[in-house]
Amino acid sequence: MKITLINFFIILSLISFTHASVVDFCVADYTAPNGPAGYSCKKPSKVTVDDFVYHGLSISGNTSNIINAAVSPAFDAQFPGVNGLGISIARLDLAVDGVIPLHTHPGASEILVVVQGTICAGFVASDNTVYLKTLKKGDIMVFPQGLLHFQVNGGGSTALAFVSFSSANPGLQILDFALFKSDFPTPLIVQTTFIDAAVVKKLKGVLGGSG
């Protein structure tokens, strides 16, 4: 009996669903290497309740740095219980004048909730439309996967937010660091960004880049 292509995919989906429903969780096994699909699963006999609890976000991050901000992640590398679940969270501390520069998460969308203070946040869509909003305590904003976005302390006091992601390992690339904290040759940066060479060299000096 011939199986049509549609029936094949239906059967495959049912098999995948059945397999997924059998496995309740996949606590990260840090003794094994991390791969594109995340960490390997710890043996169930070695899993404890502590694998599903994380205390690291109760402490303020160190904002004594060039951006006056700190991000404290609870991704699969820090929080073994989220491995394989498609979720994670982080704490965002912004001192006065603090900023999280333009960056992107290639592997996840993000939701931010402001707990304290005022945060100016926004993202740039693929058609270069900028979506910008000043957020206050209790406000929530979503940042679609892969789009450049930022957060800036918009008030005169410390701001605190928590951000959740649709991946246990959302990935991160900060635009300023990619350009000016790397060995990207200055002449090529000038050609590809139209930024003056003197400015490029100054920013490389500030962020520790070369080239």
Beta strands in the chain (DSSP E): 69-74, 88-94, 99-104, 110-116, 119-124, 130-135, 140-143, 148-153, 159-165, 173-174
Are 38 and 89 found together in one domain? yes
Q: How far apart are CA 184 and CA 67, in angstroms?
A: 21
- pLDDT-derived band of residue 184, with 50, 70 and 90 as boundaries? very high
Query: Is the distance from CB of 163 to CB of 112 less than 8 angstroms?
Result: yes
**87 is written with which tokens?**
């979720």
Instruction: Supply the range of the domain harboring residue 188.
Output: 178-207
Q: Averaged over 8-37, what is the pLDDT?
A: 70
pTM recorded for the entire structure: 0.85
pLDDT reported for residue 1: 47
Instruction: Decide if pLDDT at 3 tops 60.
Output: no
Looking at residues 168-185, what average pLDDT do you find?
95
User: Per the annotation, does 4 bind a ligand?
Assistant: no
Supply angle C-alpha 149, 94, 148, rounded to 5. Answer: 5
Cβ 70 vs Cβ 61: under 8 Å: yes
110 annotated binding-site participant: yes
The residues with which 170 forms a beta bridge, in sequence order, are none
Q: Considering its fold, how many domains does the chain have in total?
A: 2
10 labeled binding residue? no
Q: Is there a single domain that holds both residue 187 and residue 121?
A: no
* Residue 177 · residue 65 · CB < 8 Å: no
Q: pLDDT at position 13, please?
A: 54
Residues 110 and 188 in one domain: no
Report the pLDDT averaged over residues 174-180.
94
Mean pLDDT for the chain overall: 91
At residue 28, does pLDDT exceed 80?
yes
Clarify whether residues 182 and 166 are in a common domain. no
- The CATH number of the domain holding residue 138 is 2.60.120.10
Residue 71 has pLDDT above 80, yes or no: yes
The mean pLDDT of 137-160, rounded to a whole number, is 97
Per-residue pLDDT reduced to its tens digit, 106-132: 999 999 999 999 999 999 999 999 999
Mean pLDDT of 169-180: 95
What was the pLDDT predicted at 163? 98
Q: Are residues 60 and 119 in the same domain?
A: yes
Instruction: Tell whether 55 is in a known binding site.
Output: no
Is 119 found in the same domain as 195?
no
What are 83-106's pLDDT values in tens digits? 999 999 999 999 999 999 999 999
- Same domain, residue pair 163 and 95: yes
Q: How many CB atoms lie within 10 A of CB 90?
A: 21
Nearest to 195 by CA among 210, 179, 171: 179
Length of the chain: 211
Asked if residue 116 and residue 184 are part of one domain, the reply reads no
| pLDDT > 70: percent of the chain | 90
Q: Do both 16 and 99 map to the same domain?
A: yes
Check whether residue 84 and residue 34 sit in a common domain.
yes
